[in-house]
Structure 1
Amino acid sequence: MKGALLVAGTTSDAGKSVIAAGLCRLLARRGAKVAPFKAQNMSNNSVVTLDGGEIGRAQALQAAACGLEPSVRFNPVLLKPGSDRRSQLVVRGKAIGTIGAADYLAWREKLRGVVADELASLRSEFDVVICEGAGSPAEINLRETDIANMGLARAADIPVIVVGDIDRGGVLAHLFGTVAVLDPEDQALIAGFLINKFRGDPALLEPGLAQLEKLTGRPTLGVVPYSDELWIDAEDSLSTVSDAPVGRPAPPLGSEWLNVAAIRLPRISNSTDVEALACEPGVAVRWVTEPSRVADADVVVVPGTKSTVSDLAWLRRTGLAEALVSRAARGRPIIGICGGYQMLGRTIVDDVESRCGEVAGLGLLDLQVRFDPEKTLRRVSGTADGIAVRGYEIHHGQACAAGDEALLHYADGTPEGSVKGAVRGTHWHGLLACDDYRRALLPVLAAESGRGGFVVAPDTSVHRIRLRQLDLLADLIERHVDVSAVLYLIEHGAPYDLRTI
């Protein structure tokens, strides 16, 4: 088998990322040499690759589904929103600058070439490339500059399936309309539909699917059911919903739960850091935006952000900053990660992102941060309390003075992070996913929060849990999608006689 497929969606968060990951896992389990590809991603959820670049978290997850290490080849263009109008442009893993919509027009031809080269290289090396679209091809106002949806499909002659999320309502209209607004040449590559998150008896949907095929000339290749067990990494940090639970935690081993409040910052990044806590039995993690939730929680996590100074101002406007200061005064646990860590310090000097100059932090840690134009991008390893740990760093802010005890040490002995009472902070992403460290940390956090009845599980593996999630996805697709039809599309392309609406 040799070929490619583009998984598009009727909307953002329709399920493109998870369906693409499930297809990658299914093909890899069948022995195919498969790679993921997303030409352009807009996300603040990113990871550092082996080659020292930065790509979207979804493509790293899809790479894991394929049995591969993440590579900048899988996501050559990444846009990281810093405000409603401007984003940091990352090309082949490296930050190029900050751009707006008008600037992007000047970049489009160069980016089109980058995308074409990377996709051609992957197709020559792998049996199958599963591409994920961006947003929706129905955004015809963006068609001229499109390099991730029909622009990609047309340039590389790739068949397309369109995913619709039935939870949103109106999915049949969404699927029909997505095809109908496209020009005839683009419509010729839309080969079928897939419905995601269906609840109930599929027979109830059959009349609608039959009518959809009659109207479009295209079949629905599968109806993937909603699964309570599936909580795989969000496509984008900005889609994280306030007050939503994270994961599906098992009941506690002891007599008490440990309740974790993760602050949902406006420009949150790398929200997946807290998912490692949610893998633990008896640890309930929830996104919050209200001071009362911070006051009531056993542990509070201040995650990373793409706009540290702006989100720090938001903490102050909402009363969350005051709630954090009050927690620290009472000896209640707080963990700051990356931008969240920087906010907990004394001062931030930012002439790079916000260009606000010197700004006062929350003063919970003896830390001074200065932003450097050069972004730190690296995988790291070291020790924390004598335990081997690893992670990755993505930040402009540098700790230029730190007077507290170090949270951990790099492999060369250099100190990193801060601990002051029950307040902890680090620039490292992925630290909480280190199983031995997390198992040692949780009982300490439980003691600091007065949860003497909490008992940490002895054998939780975040890596195994994520792999099980990928296998669950592949199993759902195996059982509920016409896989033979999908494989035919991959190998032979879209049928030549598809109807134009």
Structure 2
Amino acid sequence: MSLGGALLVAGTTSDAGKSVLVAGLCRWLARQGVRVAPFKAQNMSNNSVVTADGGEIGRAQAVQAAAAGLEPSVRFNPVLLKPGSDRSSQVVVLGKALGQVSALSYRQRKLELAAIVASTLDGLRREHDVVVCEGAGSPTEINLRANDIANMGLARAANLPVLVVGDIDRGGVFAHLFGTLALLDAADQALVSGFVINKFRGDPALLAPGLDQITELTGRPVLGVLPWREELWLDAEDSLSYTADGVVGRPAPPAGEQWLRVAVVRLPRISNATDVEALACEPGVSVRFVTEPSRVADADLVLLPGSKSTVDDLEWLRRTGLAEAVARHAAKGLPLAGICGGFQMLGARITDRVESAAGEVDGLGLLDLDIEFRERKTLDRPVGTAFGEAVHGYEIHHGAVVRSAEKPLLELDNGEGEGALTDNVAGTHWHGLFENDAFRAKFLRWAAERSGRHGFAVAGGVSFASQRAAQLDLLGDLVADNLDTDAVMRLIERGAPGGMRTIPPGA
């Protein structure tokens, strides 16, 4: 099959369903033997992965690549912005960090980045039958439209038909769809070819009149209504999806007599929050994000996740009383673990003249090691052993261990150690470590023993990879069963239909 087509999935808001719809479209097309690739010109997220070609991309694009049956590549997300504060972000281009930018200074780089985005997309379209592009945020951020490279700017440059997806679970979906179209200029509106409604619960017959009316008002068809599916929760695109005191996933009943309660500290600049999802896949493991000390006091296992601003988030821990609560937890001999930035916080001292320029800062002192931040970011996909089990993961960090008196948690294949392990405190720079099934089972037993949860039992046989694949298959099923796939394929093959109605401003 040789289609050579592409389309763009835009959203009425962030988290409207763009990422999952793109993943579902990729899965649906791949099942039919179509060579399909995902593409997101510009992503803003601290959830990222390391690719086989040695770069860094947004995690959502890695998941979409898996849906398409592809290895993640830096070409699927040529521009990645990693917020370190409300006013600045690290900019990553084709997988490599190029420094910090403010919102204003980033605008000045848009022409250069637009050329990179265009050439990357062109290359993917030459090599694949279909490229399914994902927009960023909303296409109607009118204050940003002039320099847009991810939404209608991309659609105009590449002549892409656009599907707009809206989240009905938030309410106001028809206003969102109509308003999104109405705020675009005539040339942008000409590319908007249809709507998709996401997360619908209830009787479709009650929704049908609204679908007819939005089509009459806009001249655009609703090409599908995706139902709410509780099972879909893995690999959230944005850390904002993880709310304070929110439960992760849908915990299954325990295999033994007791639950294991995991409190994950919801840092202000949390990164790779998805690391804990593999724990939540285990029956009897209740994983919750927390932002106050009382929630730590009730936990069996406390976990400090990654951070894009380690020193700033460490100061937040102290200011909120969470640092003291974490220290009390560890002092009782209860299990504590840190990942990447969270691991760095557990050490004795952090020297950071790169990320925060704070210089020397005291860590929590729960591990006898020192961290120093370096200009060059570590990007790696290492392998090794931990708790006697073969493991793999990925590393994304500027901080490095420069002194350690602790036993390493991991032994790398080159014989070197990584991370740290005491009787009840564990830490590592590796992301994705809990996705190793045999290691995860032993880690949970280690935590249960130290928390006194002797009635907790690891169920055994839980495959995180299989659960992720099942979710991707479910997304493919949702597209096949609930979208007008013939109409979608026509858009891919022929582009946006001509002669569509333009909604005048103020209509």
Is the TM-score greater than 0.5? Answer: yes
Match of 1:214 in 2: 216
SS in 1 for 2:261: strand
Deviation at 1:476, TM superposition (A): 1.4
Deviation at 1:248, TM superposition (A): 1.6
Residue 397 (1) aligns with residue 399 (2): yes
Match of 1:152 in 2: 154
Match of 2:82 in 1: 80
Unaligned runs of 5+ in 1: none
User: What letter is aligned with 1:353?
Assistant: E
User: Which digits, 9 at most, give the CA deviation of each residue in 1:216-252, with x for residues without a partner?
Assistant: 0000011111011111311112332111111122211
Match of 2:110 in 1: 108
User: Which digits, 9 at most, give the CA deviation of each residue in 1:149-172, with x for residues without a partner?
Assistant: 000000000100000001111000
Residue 299 (1) aligns with residue 301 (2): yes
Q: Work out whether residues 238 and 268 of structure 1, in 8 Å CA contact, stay in contact via their aligned partners in 2.
A: no
Q: Distance in 1 between matches of 2:288 and 2:241?
A: 14
Match of 2:418 in 1: 416
Residue 23 (1) aligns with residue 25 (2): yes
Query: Which deviates the most, 179-188 or 226-235?
Result: 226-235
User: What letter is aligned with 1:433?
Assistant: E
Deviation at 1:492, TM superposition (A): 0.8
Match of 1:455 in 2: 457
Q: Work out whether residues 337 and 427 of structure 1, in 8 Å CA contact, stay in contact via their aligned partners in 2.
A: yes
- Aligned partner of 2:467 among 457, 460, 465: 465
Q: Distance in 2 between matches of 1:232 and 1:376?
A: 26
Q: Distance in 2 between matches of 1:257 and 1:265?
A: 24
Moved over 3 A (4+): none
User: Which digits, 9 at most, give the CA deviation of each residue in 1:46-78, with x for residues without a partner?
Assistant: 000001000000000000000111100000000
Normalised to the residue count of structure 1, the TM-score between the two structures is 0.99
Match of 1:161 in 2: 163
Residue 229 (1) aligns with residue 231 (2): yes
User: Which digits, 9 at most, give the CA deviation of each residue in 1:66-122, with x for residues without a partner?
Assistant: 011110000000000000000000000000000001211221111000000110000
Q: Distance in 1 between matches of 2:476 and 2:22?
A: 10
Match of 2:51 in 1: 49
User: What letter is aligned with 2:442?
Assistant: A
- Aligned partner of 1:203 among 190, 202, 205: 205
Q: Distance in 2 between matches of 1:265 and 1:238?
A: 11
Q: Distance in 2 between matches of 1:238 and 1:294?
A: 21
User: Which digits, 9 at most, give the CA deviation of each residue in 1:364-421, with x for residues without a partner?
Assistant: 0001000001100011001113211110100000100011111011111101101122
RMSD between aligned alpha carbons? 0.8
SS in 2 for 1:340: helix
Q: Distance in 1 between matches of 2:475 and 2:152?
A: 26
Q: Distance in 2 between matches of 1:450 and 1:248?
A: 24
User: What letter is aligned with 2:96?
Assistant: K
Match of 2:436 in 1: 434
Q: Distance in 1 between matches of 2:233 and 2:239?
A: 14
User: Which digits, 9 at most, give the CA deviation of each residue in 1:431-452, with x for residues without a partner?
Assistant: 1111111111111111111111
Match of 2:287 in 1: 285
Q: Distance in 2 between matches of 1:332 and 1:247?
A: 24
Fraction of identical pairs, as percent: 66
Q: Work out whether residues 238 and 267 of structure 1, in 8 Å CA contact, stay in contact via their aligned partners in 2.
A: no
Report how many aligned residue pairs link the two structures.
501
Match of 1:252 in 2: 254
Deviation at 1:455, TM superposition (A): 1.0
Q: Work out whether residues 238 and 266 of structure 1, in 8 Å CA contact, stay in contact via their aligned partners in 2.
A: no
Q: Work out whether residues 238 and 269 of structure 1, in 8 Å CA contact, stay in contact via their aligned partners in 2.
A: no
Q: Distance in 1 between matches of 2:138 and 2:387?
A: 47
- Aligned partner of 1:261 among 260, 263, 281: 263
Normalised to the residue count of structure 2, the TM-score between the two structures is 0.98
Q: Distance in 1 between matches of 2:205 and 2:48?
A: 40
User: Which digits, 9 at most, give the CA deviation of each residue in 1:193-228, with x for residues without a partner?
Assistant: 000001100111111111111110000011111011
User: What letter is aligned with 2:182?
Assistant: A
Q: Distance in 1 between matches of 2:253 and 2:120?
A: 45
Unaligned runs of 5+ in 2: none
SS in 1 for 2:154: helix
